[in-house]
């Protein structure tokens, strides 16, 4: 019999001890770190990418072209559509967008998913 995600969630909610939960969390953190590293290895200047796992959450899903990489972080020139999303994000009080393009810097490489331009 195959263990499903529902089985795992039920175990965590109802049966797992604190020690079990800590072991699961360590496994999740390790898995997330491997996924971040795999994504980071694919990042290159000139590639198109979208953002994920950023805070604040309104930064997630933005797309653009990677224009620079330094010290484990990248700058992303947002597409026109993503620039509009950022400009009009209801909770955005930090990023002042005046043009049809915006350079979003300081993005950890593991928070970029490289893919085709859209």
What integer is the mean pLDDT of 80-99?
95
Mean residue pLDDT across the chain = 95
HEC readout, 9-72 = HHHHHHCCCHHHHHHHHHHHHHHHHHHHHHHHHHCCCCCEEEECCCCCHHHCCCEEEEEEEECC
What integer is the mean pLDDT of 77-94?
96
- CATH code reported for the domain at 5-114: 2.30.30
Q: Where are the domains of the chain?
A: 5-114
Structure tokens at 25: 């969390």
Query: What confidence score (pLDDT) does residue 107 get?
Result: 98
Per-residue confidence band for 6, with pLDDT thresholds at 50, 70 and 90: very high
Query: pLDDT tens-digit profile of 96-106?
Result: 999 999 999 99
pLDDT higher than 60, residue 2: yes
Strand partners, 70: 73
CA distance 23 to 7: 17
Query: pLDDT tens-digit profile of 40-83?
Result: 899 999 999 999 999 999 999 999 999 999 999 999 999 999 99
Per-residue confidence band for 117, with pLDDT thresholds at 50, 70 and 90: low
Q: Taking Cα atoms as reference points, which of 115, 116, 110 lies closest to residue 34?
A: 110
Hunting for tokens 């509009």 — which residue is that? 84
pTM: 0.81
């Amino acid at each position: 019999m195959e263990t499903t995600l529902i089985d795992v969630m039920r175990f965590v909610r109802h049966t797992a001890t604190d020690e079990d939960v800590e072991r699961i969390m360590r496994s999740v953190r390790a898995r997330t770190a491997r996924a971040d590293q795999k994504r980071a290895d694919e990042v290159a200047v000139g590639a198109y990418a979208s953002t994920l796992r950023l805070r604040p959450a309104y930064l997630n899903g933005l797309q653009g072209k990677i224009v620079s990489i330094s010290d484990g972080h990248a700058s992303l020139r947002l597409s026109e559509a993503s620039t509009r999303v950022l400009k009009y994000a209801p909770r955005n009080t930090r990023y002042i967008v005046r043009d049809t393009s915006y350079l979003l810097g300081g993005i950890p490489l593991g928070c970029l998913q490289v893919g085709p331009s859209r």
